[in-house]
């Protein structure tokens, strides 16, 4: 019994201890003049879907839940958001070259169609990001149409 108490204390100390490991969650900035939403290629329902299902990681306006500040969850969240923004950050849409924008839209089409995004682990904690088939269809149809609009500029 004593051993059991003792190991419980050790676990508690470890959890407390790892809170001291410095973790920096990627920064949040609310003013993003180059955001995809605000560009002429998206509005209305699709903009809402993207904000609900994608923007928490793929933009500068991440809303961090309380547990994302607690290690070890914070490590995972920090890593995922950082990688997500490197892959595509909708808040800096206007900074991407036309060719890159086309590639991103093409990737949106396939990852949403094949249900690789939003990530399953994200959906378990964010039910609102669990896109149904109609919503996925709306996004992929939009991505294809947006690609045609952009290709006209080429």
Partner 1 sequence: MKRIALLPAAAIVGLLFFQASQKPEAEKHPDFLLFDAKMPANVKAIVDQKCYGCHNAESKNEKGKKKLDWDFFEAEKKSKQLATMSKINEVLTEGDMPPARFLENKPEGKLSEEEMAILKEWSAGKKKKGE
Residues that bind partner 1 (CB under 8 A): 97-100, 102-103, 105-106, 144, 147-148, 150-151, 154
Q: How far is the CB of 102 from partner 1 (least distance, A)?
A: 4
- The CA distance from 111 to 88, in Å, is 13
Q: How far is the CB of 94 from partner 1 (least distance, A)?
A: 12
Which alpha helices (H) appear in 19-132, and where do they start and end? Answer: 44-53, 73-87, 98-113, 120-125
C-beta of 25 vs 103, nearer to partner 1? 103
Residue 63: CB atoms within 10 Å: 9
Among candidates 109, 79, 104, 83, which has minimal Cα distance to 93? 104
C-beta of 27 vs 148, nearer to partner 1? 148
- The CA distance from 117 to 110, in Å, is 9
Q: How far is the CB of 100 from partner 1 (least distance, A)?
A: 6
Q: How far is the CB of 58 from partner 1 (least distance, A)?
A: 18
Q: How far is the CB of 49 from partner 1 (least distance, A)?
A: 21
- The CA distance from 93 to 71, in Å, is 31
C-beta of 77 vs 143, nearer to partner 1? 143
Q: Which residues contact 64 (CB under 8 A, 6 or more apart)?
A: 25, 28, 77
C-beta of 25 vs 41, nearer to partner 1? 41
C-beta of 141 vs 144, nearer to partner 1? 144
């Amino acid at each position: 019994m004593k051993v059991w108490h003792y190991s419980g204390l050790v676990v508690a100390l470890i959890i407390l201890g790892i809170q001291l490991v410095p973790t920096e969650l990627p920064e949040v900035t609310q003013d993003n003049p180059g955001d995809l939403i605000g560009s002429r290629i998206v509005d209305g329902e699709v903009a809402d879907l993207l904000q609900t299902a994608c923007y928490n990681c793929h933009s500068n306006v991440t809303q961090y839940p309380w547990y994302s500040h607690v290690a070890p969850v914070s490590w995972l969240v920090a890593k995922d958001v950082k990688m997500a923004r490197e892959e595509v950050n909708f808040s800096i849409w206007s900074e991407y070259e036309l060719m890159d924008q086309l590639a991103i839209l093409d990737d949106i089409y396939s990852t949403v169609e094949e249900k690789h995004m939003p990530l399953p682990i994200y959906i378990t904690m964010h039910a609102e990001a669990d896109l149904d088939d109609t919503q996925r269809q709306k996004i992929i149809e939009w991505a294809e149409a947006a690609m045609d609009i952009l290709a006209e500029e080429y």
